[in-house]
Each structure stands twice: as C-alpha cells, then as structure tokens.
Amino acid sequence: MWIVLGAALTTTNWLSFPEAAAQGLKAATNGPRSTVLNVELLAGADGGALHSQAWGQVFDKWGVSLIIRRGLVSDKPDLKEKTVGTLRYVTLIGRLDRAGDLEFPGRAFSRTDAAALKEWLDELQTYGVQGTPSGKPLWGLSKPQFEELYAALSALNEEEVKGATIPVAIERLKLPVKFPFRWSTKAEERYRSLGIETTVRQPLKGFTLATTLAVMLNDRGFGFRPNRLPDGSVELVGEILSDDPLDQWPVGWPIQNQTPLVVPGMFAMANIELDDLPADSVMEAAAELTKTPVLIDYATLDREQVQLSKVLLKHPFKKTTWSLALRAMLVPEKLN
C-alpha cells in the first residue's frame, strides 16, 4: 500500500488503493444497438376514453408503439428490457389516471409535460432502461459494470513512465482493451497547447493502473472518468481537471484499515531534525526512510503557484513519527 501526500493536500483522500485506468488514444467505435420501444398504459375502471385518445395521438405523432388496456390487480408500473441478437426491446408500463396523467416508475407526466416525456423516451431509445449516464452516481455505470471496471483496473503498473509523454505513457501501461481511453475534444486541444512533449512528472511504477493514469493526468491539469456508451460498453475519457472531485476518477479510494497498519513506516518512531531543507527534498527523504512512496499534487501546486524547491522546511530535534513531523512542517506552509 502507498501513502500519497498531496503537497498542497496531505489528505487520506489521496491514499492509493486497487483501482485503475484505461488504454489507448482512440475513441470507442461501437455504435448503439437498435432499440424497439413499446409503451403500455393501464387504464382505470372508468376507461378515460377521452384521455386515451389524446395520448394515443401524441404517441402516434412520435412514432412510438402504444397499447392502452384495462389494468389488472397484479399490474403495476414497470420498466423492462431484454436483448435478442442486435435488438434491444424496451417496454414501459405506466398508469393512466382519471385526470389523464401518466405514472411510470419514479416519474409522472401530465399533458403539459409532453416535451419532458418525449425527452425521456428518446433517452430510453438511446441508452435503454439504465438511462443516460449524465449526473448519476458511479458515472452512470450499473453496479456490475462498475465492479467489472474496478476489478479490471486493479492491476499494478509494472512500467516506469516518468519522463515519457502522456500518450507514450498510456501505451506503456498496457491497460485493458475492453475500456479504451480517449481525450475529450477540449482536453485534446488543451494538451496540444501545452506541447506534445509534455511529460509525466513523477515516478509511478508499482501503483495501480488507475492511480498511475489519474496522477499523470492530474499533474498536467487533467482527469479521467468512465463513460457508458449507448451500446452498453464503457470507455475512459480524459478531460480537463474538474473543480468537483466527484466528477472524475479519484487518485485513490478511502482506506479500509487503520492508517498505521497500511503505512507502518510513517508511524514508526524516529529521531527527526531538519533545518531549512527544500520541501521536495524532504518528501524524497521521507519516502526513502519510511519505505512509503510519496506522490505530489502538482495540479494544486501549479494553481497556487507554489514551487516545492523554494519552500524551506525545518523541524527541531525530536523523537517522533514522520506522519506527525510532516504535518507539523506542512501545516504552517498551508501545504496540508
């Protein structure tokens, strides 16, 4: 296990755990499968003939198959999906009430909500029952999809990528083919503006693939996230670093054990005395003495215009742990 000290963020959010990243520089080419969309409306005992006719005209205009029938006691709103060959069949079962409103699982529409209903139907036509990934937990992936991605990306990076350009570094990672990597248009433009020789800034051999990818992108102002495509496959997209840490894949995940058990070297007692040493040199020394690799959050440092080589740290002679000593030195410099 590894501890990651963001020089501008010394936090457990940067503890690196099994998770990983993606491969390649080309976008996924799988197109959406064909979807057959059917809607069933369960009418009440009063029939609601006038409302049934009105909704029938709306769905006919949209070219969506609609069946209106008398609902049974056992019937309830539902969303169903099944795939046969290259066809995906999506069936919506909803209620048509006396007021003419439609009720589906988690959604309701009146006649004045026709535009919103059409937007939802279009989403189902494109993405299926799971819906669009935008703005959803786990980047819109289902639990099985996320677990598969997480497991597939748990391998350790066996290649040193420091000094390599980012495209070359991604090739060296030998990332899972099932989860291809591509740049978003804006991120690619930003990367090219930095210069194609922009390189990886710190050693990353031995970290998980995702941590390796997340760190080397973060160091240059980028991040990545999974993106579920209409056909159900998943790609990894490199983006300009977001202000919201939940938008993109984290550098690491919360630890499951107590920190001293994960990084014992950081909590072993030692005699520590430092006198005006550059912060980057202190980090290197701490990593070597504790046998705990240390990563730097260069994105934050660059944003705050901080150069570690120009930040001098001191610590009076004291028998303590490196964890406490680093905190004592970094907090006054606002590097915690």
Residues 6+ apart with CB under 8 A from 171: 23, 24
In the prediction, which pLDDT does 48 show? 66
Best CA proximity match to 20, nearest among 206, 177, 175: 175
Over 90: is that where the pLDDT of 209 sits?
Answer: yes
- Proportion of the chain in helix, strand, coil states, percent, rounded to 5: 35, 25, 40
In the prediction, which pLDDT does 7 show? 33
**Residue 135's pLDDT band (cuts 50, 70, 90):** low
Half-sphere exposure of 177 (CA within 13 A, CB side): 0
**Residue 334's pLDDT band (cuts 50, 70, 90):** confident
Alpha carbons 138 and 326: distance in angstroms, whole number: 34
Half-sphere exposure of 33 (CA within 13 A, CB side): 19
Residues 6+ apart with CB under 8 A from 6: 14, 295, 296, 297, 300
Alpha carbons 3 and 281: distance in angstroms, whole number: 17
Best CA proximity match to 237, nearest among 252, 250, 249: 249
Question: Three-state DSSP class for 63?
Answer: coil
Q: Which helix (H) or strand (E) holds 169?
A: helix 166-172
In the prediction, which pLDDT does 335 show? 82
In the prediction, which pLDDT does 17 show? 29
pLDDT tens-digit readout, 137-168? 688 888 889 989 989 898 999 999 999 999 99
pLDDT tens-digit readout, 28-40? 334 446 889 999 9
H-only helix segments in 128-160: 143-152
Half-sphere exposure of 244 (CA within 13 A, CB side): 4
**How much is the pTM?**
0.64
Cβ atoms 190, 238 nearer than 8 A: no
Domain map (residue ranges) of the chain: 12-30+137-240, 34-127, 259-333
Q: pLDDT higher for 126 or 24?
A: 126
Q: What is the mean pLDDT of residues 261-280?
A: 92
Least confident of 9-23, 66-80, 90-104, 270-284: 9-23
Least confident of 99-103, 110-114, 257-261, 282-286: 257-261
Best CA proximity match to 41, nearest among 78, 76, 91, 93: 93
pLDDT tens-digit readout, 307-332? 999 999 999 999 999 999 999 999 89
Residue 219 in tokens: 């160091």
Alpha carbons 246 and 225: distance in angstroms, whole number: 10
Best CA proximity match to 8, nearest among 175, 216, 219, 208: 219
Residue 44 in tokens: 């009440």
Best CA proximity match to 292, nearest among 271, 264, 268, 270: 264
